[in-house]
Amino acid sequence: MTNALPTSSIIGVIGAGTMGAGIAQVAAQAGHPVLLFDAWDGAAQKGKDGVAKALSRLVEKGKMAQADRDALLNRITVIATLADLAPAKLVVEAIVERLDVKQTVFGEVEAAVADDAILASNTSSLSLTAIGATLKRPQNLVGMHFFNPAPLMALVEVISGVATAPTVAETVYATAKAWGKVPVHAASTPGFIVNRVARPYYAEALRVTQEGAADPATIDAVLTECGGFRMGPFDLMDLIGHDVNYAVTNSVFDAYYKDKRFLPSLVQKDLVDAGWLGRKSGRGFYDYAEGAAKPAPATAVPAFAPASVEVHGETPLDGRITTSGMTVSRADEGEYEDGVIVVDGVVLVPSDGRMATEIAAEEMLTDVVVYDLALDYGTAKRIAIAAADQASPNAVQAATGFFQALGFAVSVIDDVPGLIVTRTVAMLANEAADAVYQRVATAGDVDLAMTKGVNYPRGPLAWAEDVGLDRVLDILENLFDTIKEDRFRPSVLLRRKVLGGGSFHA
């Protein structure tokens, strides 16, 4: 087992912006002496001053002792040149995302430090293999991708390029763990784990609103109040900045030779072109001007509780149905498949990736309403539903009344394949499966990265196993058959797991 660097080892940090200063704080807090450098005059000292200010706030709140604050700051030394990094055992670079600049900087650092010193890049998008291509000792270069803000976010992606020595990657992994972080291993492929697997979270939301099914506020509400995500995709894109988010999507799209799975959105491009970059510009999908009211999600007005409810077999809503007080009849066998609920003659089915209109046509029915996937149907506050085009106006009212009687806020959206949560989770799971299939990371590390790096309520692969891998595959195949776009093609590994009866975490 490879050991972490001892706390006596000097850590160098290049770049004293928000990320670099945060990494310096993390290393110093773990007990290491830290050398902080920035090419801009005064920037390194400014970065250290920022750390001091942040730590002082912790002291004021009683979350840190004054003596610990002072000791931590004393371990951070501002240096004037890259040559001053000579005694460092690990140098972490957190500078501009330009390959030529990183290659030049690492070339100078390599000449200054000892032959066994580890060089680490915090790049979020560039190839570690390419960065190391001009080095004399590329085996010493590894990715150490922190997430912002570095002192608070747990995840560190440890990225190995083609030339990275396994012992170097293991040392950095162990060191990140000793620093209180949650490290994961990943191969140097576009987007690594998080920035690759997360693309569908934004892409499907953008497509659903582009298709006119629901507005951003409603999609955000459904994904948080039904899907259990901490932030909705539109809120999150506004926070990240559309220039940054759109650039990452383009970078991954270009790096994968225009694979349609990563196709950028014209909706987001419009915002970037308009300068509506989100919170930092005062306007994105939402208006952040003083006094501006955030739009409310579409929520159905109260409807009458149903007169009759017939449940066929087991459904994910059984727990809430039991405690609702509604009179329910149960039919283990009959004209409907297991899991169907008939409410005042309206057929309710969980989304399987098809439109309600398709299901009605294929089953020769009229009043069909589909409802969305929930992280936990027992605690979800909101549900999205969509009615078939053939359905009568009463169908939506009956379905709405039923779900309201179960305690849900109801968002009625247009009839799009996969609704919102169903479509998003299936696509996240598919991208996660493909990352494992292409040996980017293990299934365990993919799930860990998505829960610790972007705070997903569950790892996509564990979530897919809970839903049922066969059901996820059905959803993807139905999306593919309905929309006829290559981006919905199911992962070979997902299909293999279904056919072989295996799991990702066995």
Taking the CA atoms of the chain, what radius of gyration do you get in angstroms?
26
Residue with tokens 């706030």: 57
Give the largest Cα separation in the chain, rounded.
80
- Which tokens belong to 423? 């479509």
Please check whether residue 107 is in contact with residue 66, taking contact to mean a CB–CB distance below 8 angstroms.
Answer: no
Residues 6+ away with beta carbon under 8 Å from 140: 110, 116, 117, 118, 119, 165, 168
Element (H, E) at 74: helix 66-74
333-346 burial by CB neighbour count: b if 16+ within 10 A, else e?
A: eeebeebbbbbbeb
Please check whether residue 444 is in contact with residue 450, taking contact to mean a CB–CB distance below 8 angstroms.
Answer: no
- How far is Cα 384 from Cα 299, in angstroms, rounded to an integer? 9
Q: Is the Cα dihedral 307, 312, 317, 318 positive or negative?
A: positive
Q: Is the Cα dihedral 161, 164, 166, 170 positive or negative?
A: negative
* C-alpha separations of 369 from 382, 472, 478 in Å: 16, 20, 17
- How far is Cα 413 from Cα 218, in angstroms, rounded to an integer? 9
Residues catalogued as catalytic:
124, 145, 157, 195
Contacts from 104-109 at CB under 8 Å and sequence distance 24+?
105/14, 106/131, 106/132, 106/134, 106/135, 106/141, 107/134, 107/135, 108/82, 108/83, 109/12, 109/14, 109/82, 109/85
Give the three-class secondary structure for 410: strand
- How far is Cα 127 from Cα 171, in angstroms, rounded to an integer? 20
Residue 81: CB atoms within 10 Å: 11
Q: Which residues pair with 166 in a beta bridge?
A: none
